Structure 1
Amino acid sequence: MRINITSVFVDDQDKALRFYTEVLGFQKKVDVPLGGPRWLTVVSAEEPDGTELLLEPDGHPAVGPYKTALVADGIPCTSFAVDDVFAEAERLRGLGVRFTQEPTDMGTVTTAVFEDTCGNLIQIAAEK
């Protein structure tokens, strides 16, 4: 068994696609119209055949309270691996990304947390 697709709930798929591709550097993989929301996935440019991230509309009534609670408690909804958290945080800050947790030594990893402009906190992490 392996992870094929995982999702992040977004408030606007077009805005999310711009952020996840133009800022984070992912590539659009699938974009299928479904009569309103789309089946819209991105993948790592480093692993184009790897796990897909579904930019899933957050219209379900349970999603709003879920996202609000996670953000209020400072909990990221997902984590992306990077080679160097400090360098990636600097690159992202240069593109206007707002961090809620600066790069922090967490023992075996270094992490940082930022806002994705779509209502989520995202963690980046690098193993030492």
Structure 2
Amino acid sequence: MRLTLTSIFVDDQRAALDFYTNVLGFTKRHQVPVGDDFWLTVTSPDQPDGPELLLEPAGHPAVKPYRDAMITDGIPLLQLTVDDVEAEHARLTEKGVIFTQPPTDIGTGRIAVFDDTCGNLIQLIAMNPE
């Protein structure tokens, strides 16, 4: 069994594609029209054949209360692994990304949390060597 796809709800697929590719550095994998929306996925340039992230339209009525509660409680909906949280924090801050939690040591690693501008909090993590 392998993980091949996971999804995150986004307010606007075009804006999300711009943010996830031009700001975060992901690569668009699929953009297939489905009615007014798209089957829109991105992948890590480090794993072009690896897991895809589906940028899912947030139109379902259950999505807004769920995401609002998660943001109110400061809970990220996605975790991205990086080699160096401080370097990524600096790079993304320079691109205008707003962090809700600066780089923080959690014992087993370092984390930081940012707003993806599409309705979600995203956590960066770099694990400490054992």
TM-score where L is the length of structure 2: 0.98
User: What letter is aligned with 1:84?
Assistant: D
C-alpha separation in 1, matches of 2:77 and 2:23: 18
User: What letter is aligned with 1:22?
Assistant: N
C-alpha separation in 2, matches of 1:2 and 1:72: 32
Aligned to 1:33: 33
Point out where structure 2 has 5 or more consecutive residues left out of the alignment: none
Aligned-pair CA distance for 1:117: 0.3
What is the correspondence of 1:1-128 to structure 2 with a 5 Å cutoff? 1-128=1-128
**How many residue pairs get matched?**
128
**3-state DSSP class of the match of 2:91?**
helix
RMSD (CA atoms): 0.4
Instruction: Write the deviation string for residues 52-87 of structure 1: whole angstroms up to 9, x where unpaired.
Output: 000000000000000000000000001000000000
User: What letter is aligned with 1:91?
Assistant: R
Instruction: Write the deviation string for residues 21-51 of structure 1: whole angstroms up to 9, x where unpaired.
Output: 0000000000000111100000001000000
User: What letter is aligned with 2:85?
Assistant: V
Point out where structure 1 has 5 or more consecutive residues left out of the alignment: none
C-alpha separation in 2, matches of 1:35 and 1:123: 31
Aligned-pair CA distance for 1:2: 1.1
Q: Runs in 1 of length 4+ with deviation above 4 angstroms?
A: none
C-alpha separation in 1, matches of 2:37 and 2:109: 36
